[in-house]
Amino acid sequence: MTTVESIAWTELLKATITTAQHGNDGNRIATATETLQQTAHQFVKVLNERAKLLANSAQFERALRDAAAIRTISPGSGFGYLCMGDVYCQQGHHAAAISIYDRGLEAVPESDAYYHQLQQHRMTAINISNKRVDFISQLPLDIVIINIIPRIEPKLYSHSLYGPLYVSRTWRERFLQHPDGLDYHFDDAEATFKAGHDQLVRFAPYVQSLDVSMKDVDLDELFSRAHFSSLKVLDIMCNPSTPFRPLISGLQMIADSLTHLYIMDGHCLELCDILESCPNLVSLSMDEVGVDVPLPPSARYPKLTHLAIHNVSDIPLDDDAIEDILSRLPSLLSFEITPKADSSLLPILHELCPYLQRLYFGDRSFRADKIDVHPNRKGITLARFHGFKDFYVQDHLIQFFLTHRNTLETFDCDGDIIRHYDALWELSDGRILQIGDRRGKILENDPTQSDTSLIRLASIRFAEFCSSSCNPFISWIVLNAPNLTTISIKESLFQPEIANVMTKSKKLSKLEITRPWEDQYIFGEEDNEGIVQFLEYHIAMGDQSTLQEITICTGMSLTISETSISRIARLPCLKTLELIAYHIPKECTSALAGCSSLQKLTLGGRRATFADDLMMPLSTLPNLKCLRIRAESLSEVDLVALTTFPRLEQLYLECAVPDSIMARLRKHIPKIIIQ
């Protein structure tokens, strides 16, 4: 005998064929079957009604369950398919609804009572699915330009089409009205400008920025194919074989609109070629372009405010040529030159360029047009002096500083400073003195007789290529800068005499100590006496100490004694500490445990390695709010230890974190960023 454990609904609702019957049982069976069919029909109607109510209440999963029950009870009817499709439509899932309607139309005959409704609802879902709301076209133009287009980043590339320009005419018109225009970039592999580049040629009048590599291609071929009437910024990468004539002809074609020009590897060009061909330039940055060919005798270029001359093709630099160039630029605000020119140029810069405010001498800013300058202000505010294995004459720097003592705010030096054999002055105890055998000589603007206060100077840095010969100059600056707040100094320069001078800086709040890669230890095998002296002074100052931030930047391992770290931890007002190294030892964090005022801590460097069990000692820091761990990996023990920090609000990590531990971290720390 066969045991029936389950049966389909449809089998129960089918009319029963009886081959034998007792009395009137056949009619009674038919009546019972008809009652079941009516009951099933009423049941699916109730399920459909409940599915609608559930969908109206946004309980879509339960509504879909009722619709599925209808299809189970009446699989040969379109009613269940219609109900389920309608729920999907109400949920906004029109593609799923269309799929259900299609299945229903395949499953039921055309004679079904719901067949035509399935067709109608299917077409409605298709129409809604195809409908798009064009917000770009409907929003006010200023909102599109100010808030939307900058987020989409309107950059075009030669290897692909820029989608927003091809959505519709309205989209295209609105994107082309953006005041910054289009920014177009070429691939390095471009072979010719004679043909192709249809997108660039089509939208040429709207292109304001163009980045192109000149590899065996001629710039004039491109600019002769379309009118680049809005092109303001041109960034060119040349090579040694780039021909002169097509390049200079191309520049002349766009000279009316071009204001910013960046040229790399411009071996075939001279500065005079560029300035004469592009009279409207505001910013010019050039690498490996010659400067020896003289400018026309009476030529001046009052529109140029930013000039960067890097890796000039003629070495050594002709100082007279540089002076002549600068004398033609009365509106210059920012000047960069590498390698450095002779330091004798520094004392006369204000005569050549009276509005110069940013000076990169032997250094570069990378994008001069983004520098914050003020056209009507005189005096340099930022000076960065670099000179690999080169030097600056101390007399020249003294004159430079005194000339700009009322404006200079930031000074960065990475080169040696020497007192020349025929020096006029020497520095002693923060004062400028005339050299003995020159006493009595009357000098114009004699610094020994004038105010030497550097009233605006707030930040100084003396870096890798500075030697102990810089110490007198460092002392003079610190003692004459009453508003100095930041000092960055190479560890080997931090000797007791410098430390003593730095203790006299009453507003110093930030100290950075750096160690070059080739030096073995920061603080040496024994504690650096100058650093110890300086830290002990601020410890003794108690709550009157101004020192709030310290950065220690080393080349490799942070080899530093626990005694030194503990001194840092005892600084009463220290709020921010950065220990940047490529290996962090265990004793580093255990000695920091007593730093009660610390609020922000950074440990490590890019892909740094950490000793195990570093984090738990830091959990005792009562006020630590922000922690940045720059490690290639951390042990699970250290990661879990981060959940015990009492007041940590921000955590920055550069290593992978298992999901289970991340879930625990997020329960304790409001902001976690994996970089």
The 10s digit of each residue's pLDDT in 642-660 is 999 999 999 999 999 999 9
Residue with tokens 């006369």: 348
Q: Which amino acid is at 543?
A: D
Average of pLDDT values for 347-364?
94
Using alpha carbons, list the distances in angstroms from residue 141 to 168, 177, 463, 522.
16, 9, 50, 58
Please check the confidence at residue 341 and state whether its pLDDT lies above 90.
Answer: no
Angle at 224 between CA 223 and CA 227, to 5 degrees: 65
- Domain with 122, as residue range(s), is 9-130
CA 130 to chain CA centroid, nearest Å: 38
On whether residue 76 sits in a domain, the answer given is yes
On whether residue 383 sits in a domain, the answer given is no
The confidence band for 444, taking pLDDT boundaries of 50, 70 and 90, is low
On whether residue 331 sits in a domain, the answer given is no
Q: Are 261 and 210 in contact (CB under 8 A)?
A: no
d(CA 503, CA 506): 7
On whether residue 35 sits in a domain, the answer given is yes
Mean pLDDT rounded to a whole number for the chain: 85
On whether residue 112 sits in a domain, the answer given is yes
Say what the pTM is.
0.76
CATH number, residue 89:
1.25.40.10
d(CA 575, CA 595): 9
On whether residue 116 sits in a domain, the answer given is yes
On whether residue 381 sits in a domain, the answer given is no
Please check the confidence at residue 369 and state whether its pLDDT lies above 50.
Answer: no
- pLDDT value of position 522: 47
What is the count of structural domains for the chain? Answer: 1
Please check the confidence at residue 546 and state whether its pLDDT lies above 70.
Answer: yes
Average of pLDDT values for 46-52?
90
On whether residue 84 sits in a domain, the answer given is yes
- pLDDT value of position 4: 43
